[in-house]
């Protein structure tokens, strides 16, 4: 009897741990990306699954993973049409978000009501965010489901365009019809471990919002996010920390994707993010031959620089959250110098790095 009670106690403790039943018991490790002028920076994942579609975890587990890894906003996007566990979990559509809502609120996470419209590729899978009624999207025809999302003023984006190859990921008449009628507003440039240069190019050409998400199904066992090990996510620049402001930012395309060792986005947002992350201190030592200067990177991502000008080292590596010492072949008589580089892992287009300038001023 005592053994049985002990087993039940252990099982209950494990359930509490997995479900996040004790708010505050799990440590949070912040992702250090700074705000940019005029906006707050939110760390977001808008594509994840639970046992209520084809995922492997309970909805509250997704909340605790996001909390632990330093995210600010998440969307549980369980499939509408593909629910392999529905005989065991015969719940209504949108139930996963309902179950996660209270725990997300207790931890200060923004939780979007969302779903994935899951049809054959082509036309492909589309996520709908900021829904009021997921069940309304359960329709026979694909376009009718998207129209139902549009009627709820949802933000709709095309998922993993090239996941079954470029041939199946072509821009077809149905996509053109949707695009011309403003039925979707963005595309995943990155999904999990995959990057889609075609989707990246289309986002630039067609003025669509760039997104990158985890599309996670299995448990996420990370303790914290690092530059070398993190889920694919979005940095979204918002005017204030509300769902309406988040939706407005997505519609206005104020996003940068953090994918593996790369940051991907439009130059108008990558440039201020770089400027807020990278700081060049005044030279602390100058002589007749050299100038010594500290360069810091306060962001969560490593930054790699390749020289395009005449001054400075040919290559610079700025590890996340660190400071490096740089010796410049610039004599003390030179009052200031501009170091011209390309941030090769900050992509403003496929295979195109962000041009940047580091300004070294006079000694204090």
* Cα–Cα distance list, 28 to 13, 67, 125, 242, 349 (Å): 20, 6, 32, 21, 33
- Choosing among 3.40.50.1980, 3.20.20.140, 3.40.50.720, 3.60.110.10, the CATH entry for 16-265 is 3.20.20.140
**How would residue 361 be classed by pLDDT, with cut points 50, 70 and 90?**
confident
Distance of CA 141 to the CA centre of its chain: 30
Pick 335 or 266 by higher pLDDT: 266
Q: Which residue ranges make up each domain of the chain?
A: 16-265, 278-360
Give the residue-averaged pLDDT of 28-53.
98
Mean local confidence (pLDDT), 92-113: 97
Q: Hey, do 16-265 and 278-360 end up sharing a CATH topology, with the first three levels equal?
A: no
Band (199; pLDDT cuts 50, 70, 90)? very high
- Nearest Cα neighbor of 210 from 270, 260, 153 is 270
CA Rg, the chain, in Å?
A: 23
Residue 5's pLDDT is what? 36
Closest of 181, 173, 80 to residue 123, by C-alpha = 173
If phi > 0 it is left, if psi is from -120 to 50 it is alpha, else beta; for residue 230 that is beta
What percent of the chain has pLDDT above 90?
87
Q: What's the chain's average pLDDT?
A: 92
CATH class held by domain 278-360: mainly beta
**DSSP tag of 91:** P
Predicted TM-score of the model (pTM): 0.91
Pairing of strands 233-238, 262-265: unpaired
Enclosing H/E stretch for 238: strand 233-238
pLDDT digits (tens, 9 = 90+) for 119-153: 999 999 999 999 999 999 999 999 999 999 999 99
Q: In the block, which residue shows the tokens 């252990």?
A: 10
Q: How far apart are the first and last CA of the chain?
A: 75
Chain centroid, CA 111 distance in Å = 15
Q: pLDDT for 143-186, tens place per residue?
A: 999 999 999 999 999 999 999 999 999 999 999 999 999 999 99
The more confident residue out of 53 and 88 is 53
Range 314-330 average pLDDT: 96
């Amino acid at each position: 009897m005592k053994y049985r009670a002990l087993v039940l106690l252990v099982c209950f403790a494990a359930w509490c741990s997995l479900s996040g039943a004790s708010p505050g018991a799990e440590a949070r490790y912040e992702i250090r990306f700074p705000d940019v002028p005029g906006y707050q920076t939110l760390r977001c994942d808008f594509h994840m699954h639970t046992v209520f579609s084809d995922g492997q975890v309970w909805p509250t587990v997704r909340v605790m993973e996001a909390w632990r890894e330093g995210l600010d906003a998440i969307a549980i996007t369980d499939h509408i049409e593909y629910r392999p566990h529905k005989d065991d979990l015969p719940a209504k559509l949108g139930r996963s978000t309902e179950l996660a809502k209270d725990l997300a609120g207790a931890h200060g996470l923004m939780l979007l009501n969302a779903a994935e419209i899951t049809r054959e590729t082509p036309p492909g899978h589309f996520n709908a965010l900021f829904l009021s009624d997921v069940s309304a999207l359960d329709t026979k025809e694909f376009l009718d489901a998207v129209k139902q999302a549009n009627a709820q003023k949802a933000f709709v984006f095309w998922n993993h365009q090239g996941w079954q190859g470029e041939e199946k990921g072509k821009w077809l008449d149905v996509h053109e019809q949707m695009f011309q009628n403003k039925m979707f507003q963005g595309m995943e440039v990155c999904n999990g471990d995959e990057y889609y240069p075609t989707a990246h190019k289309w986002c630039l050409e067609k003025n669509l919002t760039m997104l990158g998400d985890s599309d996670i199904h299995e448990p996420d066992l990370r303790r914290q996010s690092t530059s070398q090990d993190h889920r694919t996510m979005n940095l979204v620049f918002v005017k204030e920390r509300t769902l309406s402001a988040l939706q407005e930012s997505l519609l206005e395309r104020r996003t940068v994707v953090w994918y593996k060792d790369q940051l991907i986005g439009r130059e108008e947002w990558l440039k201020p993010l770089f400027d807020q992350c990278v700081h060049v201190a005044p030279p602390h030592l100058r002589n007749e031959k050299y100038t010594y200067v500290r360069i810091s990177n306060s962001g969560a991502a490593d930054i790699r620089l390749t020289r395009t000008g005449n001054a400075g080292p040919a290559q610079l590596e700025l590890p996340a959250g660190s400071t490096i010492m740089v010796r410049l072949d610039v004599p003390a008589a030179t009052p200031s110098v501009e170091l011209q580089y390309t941030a090769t892992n900050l992509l403003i287009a496929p295979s195109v790095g962000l041009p940047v300038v580091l300004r070294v001023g006079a000694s204090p």
